[in-house]
Amino acid sequence: MERIGFIGLGIMGRPMAMNLLAAGASLTVHSLNTDAIDELVGAGATRGGSSQEVAASSDVVITMLPDTDDVEEVMLGAGGVIEGATDGSLAIDMSSIDPGPTRVIAEAFAAKGVAALDAPVSGGEKGAVEATLSIMVGGTPEAFGRARPVFDAMGASIVHVGPSGAGQVCKACNQLVVAATIEAVAEALLLAERSGVDPAKVRAALLGGFAGSKILEVHGQRMLDRAFDPGFRVRLHRKDARIVEAAAAETATPIPSFAVVTEQLQRALDAGDGDRDHSALFAELERESAAPSG
Amino acid sequence: MERIGFIGLGIMGRPMAMNLLAAGASLTVHSLNTDAIDELVGAGATRGGSSQEVAASSDVVITMLPDTDDVEEVMLGAGGVIEGATDGSLAIDMSSIDPGPTRVIAEAFAAKGVAALDAPVSGGEKGAVEATLSIMVGGTPEAFGRARPVFDAMGASIVHVGPSGAGQVCKACNQLVVAATIEAVAEALLLAERSGVDPAKVRAALLGGFAGSKILEVHGQRMLDRAFDPGFRVRLHRKDARIVEAAAAETATPIPSFAVVTEQLQRALDAGDGDRDHSALFAELERESAAPSG
């Protein structure tokens, strides 16, 4: 495997970098999380002093950061990846950020002879730890082919969706469908309960038909159990909803139902549920509803 | 099998009654659809002159009718089932109607010593023809057990959800989740397309993860193909949405996202898409959106 740099060792990045080490990668790491750096260095990685330094000593640089402005700063800012990356290297952003800025970053790299991929993931901390992430990739087929062994060390389902930005668009679509389906399941199961019908039986009856989904199965059960420990936090889904809304606004795509789901995510956040699992949209509905009359 | 009466031989009722005949039932039928009566009589059924007459010559009476007021009229009106049904018989309504009136009907029958079940179905015309319907049943366990062989002749997945009305509540939950998921998938696939990303690739990438659903698989493909021949008609889903909204209002259950989905169904109906498949919610979004800028 090529020499890899990894920037951003948070809840997701830390286990992803560990899986690269486990796959035999020569790894240089950089992060605000010094504990994570120590752990990775203890496991065989090299400490990088800055994003620029990581890029200078790597063939492939990966970023895994919280939001769009973090990625812009680390990739294109002073002392950033672009100042260290050499002609022929590859920059991969695995964060979930806006498609528009993603394309701008890719163009800036292209002007320096550096290939770029956007490769956001789904599957959460569990998928990161177990190397079973779904990875949605945007960029050229050549860059995708080159990165494939790197992705294989971190993910189970790896799809080349299209050109630069397509990975981020795909992730936005994923987050749209996931949140909207959670909200629909929450509304249905609460309707059942408020109607005096066992929501567990409704979930079971619906699972085998057209209403069946992974969300009904997993998050539906969470709602029945009031098991709202994360999982994927409301706070992060609210962030991703902003990305969906920006992408929709930029392309004049109507998203009337997701706009309401975004409001529900915001209400859940405002109510203090930011660090609960996104299935806590059910708890938000419960708060909004009158007590059962029965 | 007991002597069965079947009232309402429309798109659904006709093949359901045929399947009862095929299973060896002694069947008396009544309908506004005289062609369907002729067909059933040709296949061995007996012609019933009225709902009352059908009930008088049957142990189990099934109704499969368009809407709540139809069922109320046929069940409880002058010349209706209740005037023919004898002590110890069983009335099963397989229509999709409001849970509240369903409970009222069951109480009226109970006062005459007649058991009642609500047993709405999903699976559409295809499921009716192939006897693979999902049947969601409300009523006593005894009545459910008695009706089981009758349901087995028409369906593949048969669930006793709870007491009287629970079948209709379950069906309402099903229609809520199905329409909301279709709308979410439509918004996501249009967002992909408007962003210059192949929606077929997005569908494929999303299918294996938390965004995966039967709707993404089946109706997502319909959207890609613009294949909006029914299937399940927008007009009927709009009707079912009214039932969902009534049930939610009656129980003070908030359904913010489904309220928007209902508006989209109404817009599709107003635009002339009432007889297209409910996946035509995608076509409605396309109409509402600006032309792609790319």
Lowest mean pLDDT among A140-144, A240-244, B120-124, B191-195: B120-124
Contact call for B214 and A214, based on CB within 8 A = no
The torsion angles phi and psi of A210, rounded to 5 degrees, stand at -65, -20
Find the mean pLDDT for residues A172-193.
98
- Of A198, A210, A290, nearest to B252 by CB-CB distance is A290
β-partners of residue B47 are B29
Disruptive mutation site among A137, A251, A277 for chain B (greatest number of B CBs within 10 Å): A251
In contact, A109 and A85? CB cutoff 8 Å: yes
Output DSSP code: residue A271: I
- Which pTM value belongs to this model? 0.94
Task: Report residue A292's pLDDT band, with 50, 70 and 90 as the boundaries.
Answer: very low
The torsion angles phi and psi of A160, rounded to 5 degrees, stand at -85, 105
Residue A246 scores a pLDDT above 70: yes
Chain A nearest C-alpha distance from B215 (Å):
6
* Closest Cα in chain B to A176: B188
- Cα(B256)–Cα(B254) distance, integer angstroms: 6
Catalytic pick from A171, A201, A214, A239?
Answer: A171
Contact call for B197 and A169, based on CB within 8 A = yes
Domains and CATH numbers, chain A: 4-162 (3.40.50.720), 169-288 (1.10.1040.10)
Contact call for A170 and B197, based on CB within 8 A = yes
Chain A nearest C-alpha distance from B156 (Å):
10
Chain B nearest C-alpha distance from A16 (Å):
18
Task: Report residue B290's pLDDT band, with 50, 70 and 90 as the boundaries.
Answer: low
Find the mean pLDDT for residues B40-63.
98
Residue B130 scores a pLDDT above 90: yes
Contact call for B257 and A178, based on CB within 8 A = no
State yes or no: is A201 an active-site residue.
no
* A203: nearest Cα among B75, B29, B177, B7: B177
